[in-house]
A and B are shown apart, each in its own frame.
Chain A
Amino acid sequence: MTATETVEPRADRRTSHPAAHPAAAAIEASGPLVGRAMPRVEDAALLTGVARYADDLPVKPGTLHAAVLRSPHAHAELLGIDAAAALELPGVAAVVTGEDAKRFASPFLVGIRAPMEHWCLAVDRVRHVGEPVAVVLADSRYLAEDALDRIQVRYRPLPPVTSIRQALDPASEPLHPAVGANLINSRGFLYGDPDAAFARAARTVTVEVEYPRNSCTPMECFVVLADYDAAEDAFEVLSNFSGPFAVHPVMARALKVPASRLRLKTPPHSGGSFGNKQAVFPYVVMMGLCARVAGRPVKWVEDRLEHLMAATSATARRMRIEAAVEPDGRVLALRMEQTEDCGAYLRAPEPASLYRNHGNLTGAYDIQNLALTNRIVVTNKTPTGLNRGFGGGQLYYGLERLMNRVAAELGLDPLDVIRRNLVAADAMPYRTASGGTLDSGDYRATLEQAVREGALDALKERRGRMRAQGRLYGIGYAAVVEPSISNMGYITTVLTAEERRKAGPKNGAQATASVAVDPTGGVSVTVASAPQGQGHRTVLAQVVADVFGLRLEDIRVNTDLDTGKDAWSIASGNYSSRFAGAVAGAAQVAATRLRGRMAALVAGQLNCRAEDVRFAGGKVFSDPNPDNALSFSRVAAAGHWSPGTLPDGQEAALRETAFWTPEPLKAPTDADHINSSACYGFIFDFCGVEIDRATGALRIDRYVTMHDAGRLLNPLLVEGQILGGFAHAVGTALYEEYAYGEDGRFLSGSFADYLVPTACEVPVPVILHRESPSPVTPLGAKGVGEGNCMSTPVCLANAVADALSGIAGELPSLPLTPAKLAALVHPPEPPRPRGATAPRGTTADAGPAAPAAVPGGRGLTGEGSREVPATPEQVWAILLDPKELAALLPGCEALDLAGPNAYRAEVVVGIGPVRGRYTAEVALSDLDPPNALTLTGSGSSSLGSGSGTGHVTLERTAEGTRVTYRYSASVGGKVAAVGGRMLDSASRLLIGQFFEKLVARAGGTPAAADPSPLPVRLLHRLLRLLRIHR
């Protein structure tokens, strides 16, 4: 079923006798290692379970384990925290709150000029579900989590802001009162003369799209080990932080120490990041603070619920693009409006998502006139940050939907519209309207190669056959440029030129690498690239082995980072696809310099000029006289063993550290031109998809992805990056979304709610390559890991639009779930006739008039009725008696009178695996004895909050009383995040329990008795399964 290109493996399968040194034979096969598909040096440790991830490293004796208490509210004032009961638990050492943060820390720096404070622990107000409110430090994680339940936090809920539309409304409740509005930044940009182009254009075409929140969710969550040295006022932290290290000064400043006193280390292995582990940085500060407060080392390991709920997210973006187009589809100008949802706080390095692609806003197209408005809003959602594709998925979703729409409205082939607008090869290097420099490539030839080698004609024929059978089949295209190696200055494009002048210029992208020789003549390499599983060690060994003419295993690469000892810069880290171009390049520069110094030292011994010294096959020799050779190890070790023999005035060649920054990366100009990345790859994708008419499920029938990422250093790893990015993009396009209720409740707190594609959902794309070396980077390589997260979501969406052309107009926003697509394919179903109400007499039946849940939220409504064998007066008496009410309320352990007809109840409720003790306020109102009353309740616990209202009427019947009820309820916090799928049925079961007990109290047959009808027995089995039954 999957699109495939059947190429027989060239490898033989000598699995039975793996060579001790797999690369040994390769060297003898000669030729450079760079460019070859080599398996990784990393893999043996990972495959045998001896790799050391952050949570595997030893901790100091006496280390405390942290658990974080988080806000169940999207938006609320924080009135008070009472941790006394938590501190009484054995094993609990401390509870740290925002008060401690105010004493020992500072708010994080913010990237725009606006009075917004973001602390590592909430101060005065919480602004998203999951925001850290307090930290318990205890002897074990289990004890720390126990203590979380004992902390009492008082909140006063505020109106939440949960959409871009709402945030733009000046009447929305401001998240940051000092800013005064939720639109926190707006900038206009003008490049070329778009007004003139629109005036002369034949017509305009407009799209408006919204991109959802999601993230790449690495399999390993965040880990922080922190220690504080009071004598030196210095922090030592180990964390699986991935960079960018531009965030290091932000952390140091928040801890109120100079950067030199925040020694940050990374572990030998990391379980993936895809950008996300940038967002561990607030926790580095939080745990540093905790270590300082507790006076002991602290360890924190994030769990999956915490990660999904509160770690980070890609930005949601609303885009409106208007194009001035000629009749042949040529685009003359764009008017673009981007509105970015950065969540509750603008957390460093945001608003980078919005500006990362500023130099390539016009994508792969030659469009010189551009008017742009960028807006940034805050909402009551998790703050955003780095995520594979970083801003590119958002941008190209708008741009490539636009190009698709241009074709549709002009009646053109979408491929022809792309062709007509692509930047021409002879225009390279091409300067974009907004200041980017597309460095190399022949986009048109690349596209034609993909069309040919990817067999587009055959795919079109297939579409024709499928459609002839009445099937919904479509073809989509996308052409994008993939930026890599971010310019550290691009984020300052959000500032005005005047503000930038005051702040001083920011630009460049310093990459570092050190190459050293040891006393046995071995070569070691250290870098600050903080790899997260990509195989940096393998590629660096290839690069450096080539420089010295050595074997792969002669090179030992160390990618642990220690900011106290290693060479690094703010641009260090694992992001913006900078490794192949910048870091591998820097390693080559360092190795080449070291080789040059060795050549100068050894030239005398070899009786030749330094430029004639050659390094190959583990030997150092004179080019004119190769027989006069020394072993590399002897030459390399000489500086250790016999520095006295060095030529006069020359230093030993023992170690070289290179700092390399791409030449074209300047600060933004006064006219806001910015070359936001050092190089730009090109991707052209096309695909065929089929939509199941019955279910709306989308099947990717064939996917072809064509990449020009410059020179490929290791094609096996490049392929891995493309396959991985593609899988993420399939998730983004079809399955994944951080869903929130309209009240800001978070609804995707488990991997059963946040749907990551599995092996059954991800097909294998056909991958094609073309190599146009970058003139910018030392090795000619460009980034390759993010491109499909930019191209694939919109390529699939364009295919869906093609499949549904003539059936549906606007596409729904991503993800394109079966439910959304089915709704486009099928007309709405007629409502069920009113008479078809579900049978009475069982429990809590909610008829069709009672929707199961409010769309998009965990708001629950329902209604039902029960026959009770007692008079209305008897039922009334039961309901109004606190003791009786306590017995009726499911899970009620205590009920105290709090006022006239008002009670405070202790209730224990379990939804699936989540069981919580709630303190609930229950009140009876609208009393109309013995006919009607209203029961309202609200409660909160460490697991979340809930509130509800029920209207109860009592009606006298021949058998007794018919009790009719209507209820509406909402549930938030952890329960809503992980139990969403169960809440509806669980709430019905709870209400069912209430009435079962009422029937029993009123003298009816207990429902649990054997003669009870089948549905009731099933109910009780279910209750037991859900752990609700007590």
Chain B
Amino acid sequence: MPPLSSSPPPAPLAAEARHPVTIVLNGRRRSGHAHPRLLLSDFLRHELGAHGTHVGCEHGVCGACTVRIDGVASRACLTLAVQADGRRIDTVEGLADGNGGRMTALQEAFRRHHALQCGFCTAGILMSLSDYLDRNPKPTEEELRDMLSGHLCRCTGYAGIVRAVMDVTGGTAASQAHQPAEADHV
């Protein structure tokens, strides 16, 4: 992938006009148009059709919309689409792409440990984790829970999420209370 041209010098963007925005979405160059006030979350979902990123609160608390911007986990609902112009955006749709089309070990662990139910918060949690585990590959459970506290999940009580992460990182969940899915089925 050739590098994108460097970002244009910051100049005021006309509020009423749609501006071209080009990002590298999960390794592929994608372009669209955005009013300056359009949120990155809306741009991804409704302009580019990448609806794997979800919107849960639009005020930066719930974490459902988390994507990686140039590698850094960020809230897409607190980012303007025009701010993302020229940047690399990674979303949940790209995780398996980077793993030869198969789910990553973390995604598989989520499934095995029933770390998701409705799945609405899951994309954001996976994206935060993919950034976090790059920087801290073997977190303690306490560290992990602290990191996860930037995400709200209403279905799971977080237990399965913690178990799944500790499973793939080789750590021990102190709260590994219960049996995971039968090995046969994994």
A residues in contact (CB < 8 Å) with B: 1-2, 4-16, 18-19, 22-23, 25-26, 29, 36-40, 42-53, 55-56, 142, 216-221, 269-272, 274, 303-304, 532-535, 715-717, 719-720, 723-724, 726-728, 750-752, 756, 758-760, 762-767, 913, 978
Contacts and interface: CB of A to CB of B under 8 A. Distances in A.
B183 to A, nearest CB: 4
A216 B154 contact: yes
Contact of A22 (B64, B154, B155, B186): B186
Interface in B15-56: 35, 37-38, 45, 50-56
A291 B174 CA distance: 54
22 contacts: A5-B178, A6-B176, A9-B176, A9-B180, A14-B186, A15-B109, A19-B186, A39-B185, A49-B51, A142-B37, A216-B154, A219-B54, A271-B118, A272-B154, A304-B56, A533-B116, A533-B119, A720-B117, A720-B156, A759-B161, A764-B157, A766-B177
A303 B58 contact: yes
Given A4-B175, A11-B181, A142-B37, A752 B59 contact: yes
Nearest to A216: B154
Nearest to B111: A43
Nearest to A6: B176
Contacts of A762: 157-159
B152 A758 contact: yes
B178 to A, nearest CB: 5
B158 A727 contact: yes
B126 A47 contact: yes
Contacts of B180: 9-11, 37, 716
A38 B154 contact: no
A760 B145 contact: yes
Interface stretch (B2-10, B88-96, B130-138): B88-96
Interface residues of B, number: 74
B57 interface: yes
Contacts of A51: 52, 119
Given A15-B109, A304-B56, A759 B148 contact: yes
A49 B111 contact: no
A5 B159 CA distance: 13
Interface of B: 35, 37-38, 45, 50-59, 61-62, 64, 91-93, 95-96, 102-103, 105, 107-112, 114, 116-123, 126, 144-146, 148-162, 167-168, 174-186
A50 B93 contact: yes
Question: Which secondary structure dominates chain B's binding surface?
Answer: loop
A26 B184 contact: yes
In the complex, the 4 A-B pairs of residues with the closest C-beta atoms, listed nearest first = A49-B52, A533-B118, A46-B119, A271-B120
Contacts of B149: 758-760
A863 B31 CA distance: 55
A720 B177 CA distance: 12
Contacts of A532: 118
B186 A7 contact: no
A219 B61 contact: no
Contacts of B108: 15, 18
A13 B183 CA distance: 8
Contact of B62 (A11, A534, A751, A767): A751
B118 A270 contact: yes
Contacts of B123: 49
A16 B145 contact: no
A219 B111 CA distance: 19
Given A26-B184, A56-B51, A759-B161, A46 B122 contact: yes
A975 to B, nearest CB: 14
Contact of B182 (A16, A36, A55, A219): A36
Contact of B177 (A217, A270, A764): A764
A220 B105 CA distance: 26
B37 A25 contact: no
Contacts of B110: 43, 47
Nearest to B175: A764
Determine which residue in A16, A19, A759 has the highest number of CB atoms from chain B within 10 A of its CB, and name it.
Answer: A759
A723 B93 contact: no
Nearest to B172: A6
B117 A16 contact: no
Contacts of A15: 105, 108-109, 112, 168
Contacts of B107: 47-48
Contacts of A726: 157
Nearest to A221: B56
A272 B105 contact: no
Determine which residue in A47, A532, A723, A752 has the highest number of CB atoms from chain B within 10 A of its CB, and name it.
Answer: A47
B186 to A, nearest CB: 6
Contacts of B161: 759
Contact of B111 (A47, A272, A760, A764): A47
A8 B173 CA distance: 10
Contacts of A272: 117-118, 120, 154-155
Contacts of B168: 15
B22 to A, nearest CB: 21
A23 B185 contact: yes
Nearest to B97: A48
Given A47-B107, A751-B59, A913-B59, 15 more contacts: A11-B186, A25-B185, A26-B185, A47-B116, A48-B107, A49-B95, A51-B52, A53-B120, A55-B51, A142-B38, A219-B152, A221-B56, A766-B177, A767-B177, A978-B59
B178 A218 contact: no
Contact of B105 (A16, A533, A752): A16
Contact of A49 (B37, B57, B93, B185): B93
Contacts of A1: 174
A146 B53 CA distance: 25
A51 B92 CA distance: 11
Given A55-B51, A271-B118, A760-B149, A304 B59 contact: yes
A218 B118 contact: yes
Nearest to B149: A758
A454 to B, nearest CB: 12
B182 A26 contact: yes
B119 A271 contact: yes
A58 B40 CA distance: 19
Contacts of A50: 52, 93
Contacts of A716: 114, 179-181
Given A25-B184, A39-B186, A723-B159, A219 B177 contact: no
Given A48-B95, A724-B157, A37 B182 contact: yes
B16 to A, nearest CB: 9
Given A720-B160, A752-B59, A760 B154 contact: no
Given A39-B112, A47-B126, A49-B123, A219 B175 contact: no
